[in-house]
Chains A and B, each alone.
Chain A
Amino acid sequence: MPAPPCASCHASRAALRRPRSGQALCGACFCAAFEAEVLHTVLAGRLLPPGAVVAVGASGGKDSTVLAHVLRALTPRLGISLQLVAVDEGIGGYRDAALAAVRRQAARWELPLTVVAYEDLFGGWTMDAVARSTAGSGRSRSCCTFCGVLRRRALEEGARRVGATHIVTGHNADDMAETVLMNFLRGDAGRLARGGGLGSPGEGGALPRCRPLQFASQKEVVLYAHFRRLDYFSEECVYAPEAFRGHARDLLKRLEAARPSAVLDLVHSAERLALAPAARPPRPGACSRCGALASRALCQACALLDGLNRGRPRLAIGKGRRGW
């Protein structure tokens, strides 16, 4: 059976069906629609004002590749300039391959690339070393806790080095949905109160962060990368199977099968959560050691590193027993 004509240009044959609306589109129209939607998100949310220097967190994976590509296509329209910042967490067999992909992309797009390594920033600690250090504690390793906190610090640091005014990351709608599910399952009221919006406006001296791909589902990101023939690194992190997020991801896949709009419904729910004032995190101050944004005396990165350095890696994970 021949493919139906494209629903928007009516000229070429449709090559795909959009997962959300079931509309049949040809490759070019789909990519155009995708870009238009990202532009709409950025403009309607006033995320990137003209003249901004935008640091793109590039990991070499599909989300950041698509993000960088779309933003690059939109730079004349938005009046911004792009910088690629890649973070090297020191995960052998995974991150080095990904970084090679990032370097290729930077060369192809002619965008300046800065690589920030955990080893340099955090006193010689790579993720592999962290994993070894937390391995013997009996419970699960919680590598993702360390990696996530340290990566955000590293991104911030890298962005400052290149003089950026905004940080963008490639989180898509599926990521947001998984996050809200995870936060509920773990009872993380503080994160629930903070998340769900369009990114943080950058309080207390931290750079404003946003996620232009926030309303694009993962399938659409993959489709876009396919039709634009983008080269990206597609393997899973070595430590991913241990993560709690895996449960949330599994649930999300099933929910999406039961109801295709479940992902956006979850994002909508996350936007509208109303938490008690007592549950919200306190106004952030500055870390006493490194001066970064922190809601307690030490920022989480410093606290985690402290624990690692003292040989007590779980020091800053979970609720402090002595009420610190």
Chain B
Amino acid sequence: DCFKAFYVHKFRAMLGKNRLIFPGEKVLLAWSGGPSSSSMVWQVLEGLSQDSAKRLRFVPGVIFVDEGAAFGKSLEERSKTLAEVKPILQATGLPWHVVALEEVFSLPPSVLRCSAQEPAGSEGAYKAAVDSFLQQQHVLGAGGGPGPTQGKEQPPQPRLDPQSLARPPAAAQTEALSQLFCSVRTLTAKEELLQTLRTHLILHMARAHGYSKVMTGDSCTRLAIKLMTNLALGRGAFLAWDTGFSDERHGDVVVVRPMRDHTLKEVAFYNRLFSVPSVFTPAVDTKAPEKASIHRLMEAFILRLQTQFPSTVSTVYRTSEKLVKAPRDGPAASDSSPCCLLCMCALDVDAADSATAFGAQTSSRLSQMQSPTPLTETRTPLGPCCSPGVGRVQGCGQGACRREDPQACIEEQLCYSCRVNMKDLPSLDLLPPYMLAEAQLRTQRAWVLQEIQDCLIEDSDDEAGQS
């Protein structure tokens, strides 16, 4: 009992402390079938059914992504998993969606664009929203019993999502997806790609059905591992977004992690004691040896270190709380700074020849093209015309060059770690069409922007010009 109270309190406190979820808001719960997300869904269900003072006040829906095609599961195995998944989803009583990962091939390029951000709600705005909501409830007759009262105010959600369930995914898409994943050379890059595609898919579903928040069930242990893994992948600049409570890089849809405070052990105990239903779905790295990918290595390392130094996970977690989402050049540049094509974070690469780790890697590539004299000057970049730059396609003035080297043009639009991942992909043509289309569009926009640069009026720094 005490354990349950403590567990539930942690969950509610995490939501309440951050005050990001407004009453009446539609929230999509990303359920993978695993213990943490199952526990999260269970918590939400319990929270919805409590008496009105402490009831959770948002409108949830559940989504399950079927990733079987990414690692070669046959259709029978996938339908078997789906058969296990469906009863659990139906038992939740919430609107649920099942999507297959193949649907990434029919996503529109708009998924990759950061929509306009809503102004961040201040403390006052949250309180005002809660007050007005309570008033509304009161007016509508607060005598309404427990249950999804919000459902009465909106047009009834379809309990079933006929599109994504009735029709199995097109065989061509399945084939394309498995081809894409088979062509990736390392397990590390596969896992990263899978995560990216899954995020985009969930994002798209959330936007399509009007959800403004997505909740994922990452637990404390998983987040500590994720933090260290991302450090090793070169994502040091984005740690706050990847492992913090809220992740607003997509603009209109915010990803929230309410299980951040719960360790895997607690989740396991809770699920066992209170029989929380969960489904085991094999992932791309199930039964992979420890050395297979950076994710596996980090996981094994941290769990092993944890046995020797029991405070490891909590130390890493506390350190992650000290990270901030600092834009590099200050708030003024946030609107115009280019975002990575895949992970949608602000690009973190400098000019090619600077004295940074990135600079060291690019300049060593260029040095192979010159005859070595021991004490040469700092080299003039010879390299391909599309020299890596911060999104601005400097050398790409000529349209012909652009078409010759599409790989480099896509690479320029990626952040450091996405670039490293893409190196493991022999051919970028196998990527889903929405990525290629968006990359093409951005390249064209940048080229056009450069052409008309002289005519554009921009905000000048000095205030004197503006009366």
Contacts and interface: CB of A to CB of B under 8 A. Distances in A.
B278 interface: no
Nearest to A73: B374
A273 B236 contact: yes
A185 B376 contact: no
Interface stretch (A85-93, A160-168, A260-268, A308-316): A260-268
Interface string B351-370: 00111111111011101101
Interface string A239-277: 000000001000100110111011011111111111111
A238 interface: no
Given A7-B368, A33-B367, A273-B237, A266 B232 contact: yes
A36 interface: yes
Contacts of B364: 18, 20-21, 33, 37
Contacts of A77: 375
Contact of A43 (B370, B374, B378, B417): B378
A189 interface: yes
Contacts of A23: 368
Interface residues of B, number: 59
Interface residues of A, dominant DSSP: helix
B435 interface: no
B428 to A, nearest CB: 19
Contact of A40 (B228, B318, B363): B363
B373 interface: yes
Contact of A262 (B294, B358, B361): B294
B437 interface: no
Contacts of A276: 322-324
Contact of A271 (B230, B357, B371, B373): B357
Interface residues of A, number: 61
A43 B376 CA distance: 12
Given A21-B365, A40-B353, A187-B318, A265 B232 contact: yes
Given A32-B373, A215-B357, A266-B232, A272 B237 contact: yes
16 contacts: A21-B365, A36-B372, A189-B322, A192-B319, A251-B298, A251-B301, A254-B291, A265-B233, A265-B357, A265-B417, A269-B237, A269-B239, A271-B356, A272-B348, A274-B240, A274-B324
Interface of A: 7-9, 18, 20-21, 23, 28-29, 31-33, 35-37, 39-41, 43-45, 47, 73-74, 77, 173, 180-181, 184-187, 189, 192, 198, 215, 247, 251, 254-255, 257-259, 261-262, 264-279
